[in-house]
Structure 1
Amino acid sequence: MSAWSPPRLILASRSASRRAMLDAARVPYAAIPADVDERAVEASLEDAAPGEIAEALAVAKAAALAPAHPDALVLGSDSLVAVEGRRFDKPGSREQAAEHLRFFSGKVMELHSGAAIVKGVGVKGKGCEWSHAALARLHVRDLSDAFVESYLAAEWPEIGNCAGAFRIEAMGVQLFDHIEGDQFTVLGMPLLPVLGALRELGVIEA
């Protein structure tokens, strides 16, 4: 009997937290960042719900790499933050991060994390084997101006690539009173559903 040989998995992301999740779960993969115009994808889905947009961004990232890797399954993931119905992109500057944080103060942040697996064959945007979006609600405490300044002094520029201007695994945990939702969704990828899909697709053993 031949040894079990799983399909190759590529993570279409440069995110350290997503890599850390797969590493901890002992999932074999290669990480290759995807070049996707996220703002264009969002603009094309302007009237869609935030969860749908996060899922579409995940599909777009996976699909961008898939044609160049016909022997692989490509996993894309993305997160989107909404507060009081307003969507927030990654902050483009420290000043914008401060504006975001002051707006978030005392409010509930909805964090939508999407994931998708695309076959590495076919036309770009086709061949999506699986996709999913999960929601976490993060209750932001009242943030003083002094805290916002000390927080940014410690966390900028690292949080410039983070939706919501925080890293939950770092000082960002101090932004919140409590959180509804699992830690993986907050970290940027709904890991348990992803693992279920990887089992179904033969990437990891069932």
Structure 2
Amino acid sequence: MTARLILASGSHIRQQILRDAGIAFEIIKSDVDEDELKQAHRELKPAAMAVLLANAKANQVSSAHPEDFVLGADQTMELDGELLDKLPQRELARARLTAMRGTSHQLHSGLALVCANKTVWEHQQSSTLWVRPFSDAFLDIYLATAGEELTASVGAYAYEGLGAQLFERVDGEFHAILGLPLLPLLKALRDLRVIAS
């Protein structure tokens, strides 16, 4: 490997995806103010917002580590054309999940690789997920058992866990749904000689 790979994210699932793929990396979490960026760029579509946020995170960390490759990643959720944010409180999850019931939504993953404060690669990948028309009784059980999933992800679910029970169909690659499109990233890392080809 010619340079370190730094993940500018505190996401445990993104870290696990990279570890499972055998990628060596370090974690330096960015402290980009996402809310401020979203307000400043309200005109952007949710898919473009994911890429903007990924670039902002990677560039912030890259400024202190210019010799390394920094991976920024973000994911936005779009429901009925609206960009949604993570829920600040568990109590709000019932209303969000009820609004999602029997409908589809999109998850937009954005990735950016930055070296010396220059974006050398970026990628955007979208997935569509159809939430099944679950019963109120199921919703009660889910809310009682989902735990931190309710506020850790924008959709109040972890697709790789209990949240899979919410869905009847998905159109998207598994890792992209989790927020880190892996195969395009691996190709970029090989092309940039960060990992062996």
Give yes or no for the alignment of 1:144 onto 2:144. no
Deviations, residues 34-80 of structure 1 (Å, cap 9, x unaligned): 11111111112212111100011111111111111122110010111
Give the residue type in structure 1 aligned to 2:143: L
In 2, the alpha carbon distance for the partners of 1:149 and 1:44 equals: 37
Deviations, residues 174-194 of structure 1 (Å, cap 9, x unaligned): 010010010011111111111
In 1, the alpha carbon distance for the partners of 2:121 and 2:10 equals: 21
In 1, the alpha carbon distance for the partners of 2:137 and 2:22 equals: 41
Give the residue type in structure 1 aligned to 2:38: E
- SS of aligned partner of 1:48: coil
Conservation of the 8 A alpha-carbon contact between 1:102 and 1:143: no
Partner of 2:100: 104
- SS of aligned partner of 2:183: helix
Give yes or no for the alignment of 1:83 onto 2:74. no
Matches within 5 A, 1:53-72: 53-72=49-68
5+ residue gaps, structure 1, are none
Q: CA deviation at 1:201?
A: 1.1
Give yes or no for the alignment of 1:166 onto 2:129. no
In 1, the alpha carbon distance for the partners of 2:85 and 2:141 equals: 22
Normalising by structure 2, we get a TM-score of 0.95
Partner of 2:125: 134
Normalising by structure 1, we get a TM-score of 0.91
In 2, the alpha carbon distance for the partners of 1:114 and 1:97 equals: 24
Q: CA RMSD in A?
A: 1.2
Partner of 1:194: 185
Conservation of the 8 A alpha-carbon contact between 2:149 and 2:156: no
* Number of corresponding residues: 197
Choose the corresponding residue for 1:45, options 21, 36, 41.
41
In 1, the alpha carbon distance for the partners of 2:182 and 2:150 equals: 21
Give the residue type in structure 1 aligned to 2:11: S
In 2, the alpha carbon distance for the partners of 1:129 and 1:175 equals: 37
Q: CA deviation at 1:159?
A: 3.5
- SS of aligned partner of 1:68: coil
Give yes or no for the alignment of 1:154 onto 2:145. yes
In 1, the alpha carbon distance for the partners of 2:68 and 2:150 equals: 31
Alignment identity in percent? 39
Give the residue type in structure 2 aligned to 1:133: Q
In 1, the alpha carbon distance for the partners of 2:150 and 2:70 equals: 26
